[in-house]
Chain A
Amino acid sequence: AQSVSQHNHHVILSEAASLELGCNYSYGGTVNLFWYVQYPGQHLQLLLKYFSGDPLVKGIKGFEAEFIKSKFSFNLRKPSVQWSDTAEYFCAVGSGGGADGLTFGKGTHLIIQP
C-alpha cells in the first residue's frame, strides 16, 4: 500500500523567506506525484504534478518541486514566499494507472507573517 509522509505539520515563515516542504512516499511501482494547496475558505487546487521526464517541475504561483527517485521524495519549494501563500499544502501520490485514487499526506499548515 502507498503511504505519504509530510514531515512538517506547521510551518511559520516571514515574507520573502524561502520555503521547502518535505514529502516522502512509499510505493514500489510507477508513481504520479502531486502537490495540492487549500487556501483559507477555498477548495483544493492542483499546484503542480509530476508524471515523468524532467524531475524538476514548475507549478503555479512560483512553486516548484523536485522528484528524487532514490530518496522517494517530492519536496515543494518557493524561493520567496508571500503573505498570500498562507494555506494548507498536501502532497499526494497516485499509482501509474490511477486505480487506487490518490494517497494524501496529512498536510502542512503554512503561515506567512507579514
Chain B
Amino acid sequence: EAGVTQSPTHLIKTRGQQVTLRCSPISGHTSVYWYQQALGLGLQFLLWYDEGEERNRGNFPPRFSGRQFPNYSSELNVNALELEDSALYLCASSRDWTGRGQYFGPGTRLTVT
C-alpha cells in the first residue's frame, strides 16, 4: 500500500509570494490533515478536509487555505508569505472523519527568504 505522498520536497520562496503544496492520501482515505512543523514550535494543526469540505482549521490566519479534490488529494495554499512561514509542512490522511490513525507523508520543506 502506497503511503501519503507530498510534493514538492523542498521549496524556496521570497517574502510576499504565494505557494501551493500538494498531498495525495493513502488509497481509500477520505480525510486529509495539514500540519506545520516550525523550529521551536513543534507540530501544529493547520487544516482538516474531509469529503471535499474544509471541516476545521487551527489557529492560523486566513492566508493559509486549501482544498480537497474529488479524488481526495489536497492542496495547501499560503499567500503573502512571511519569514516565519518557513517550516516543514506535513500532510496526513485518515480512513475517515474520526481521525483514528493519521498517517503522515514526508513533508514539504518551505524556506521563505
Contacts and interface: CB of A to CB of B under 8 A. Distances in A.
Interface residues of A, number: 25
Interface in A21-35: 32, 34
B95 to A, nearest CB: 11
A98 B58 contact: no
B42 interface: yes
Contacts of B92: 102
Contact of A94 (B35, B58, B99): B99
A89 interface: no
Contact of A97 (B33, B97, B107): B97
B98 A43 contact: no
Contacts of A105: 42
Most A CB contacts (10 A, CB to CB) among B42, B46, B92 go to: B42
A58 interface: no
Interface of A: 32, 34, 36, 43-46, 49, 51, 90, 92, 94-107
B64 interface: no
B101 A99 contact: no
A92 to B, nearest CB: 8
A94 B78 CA distance: 25
Interface size class of B (residues with CB under 8 A): 20 to 34
Contacts of A107: 42
B45 A101 contact: yes
A5 to B, nearest CB: 12
Contacts of B97: 97-98
Contacts of B98: 32, 96-98
Nearest to B34: A101
Contacts of B56: 99-101
Task: Rank and list the top 9 A-B pairs by shortest CB-CB distance, nearest first.
Answer: A98-B99, A101-B45, A104-B43, A44-B104, A43-B106, A98-B98, A106-B42, A94-B99, A99-B56
A106 to B, nearest CB: 5
A43 B107 contact: yes
A6 to B, nearest CB: 10
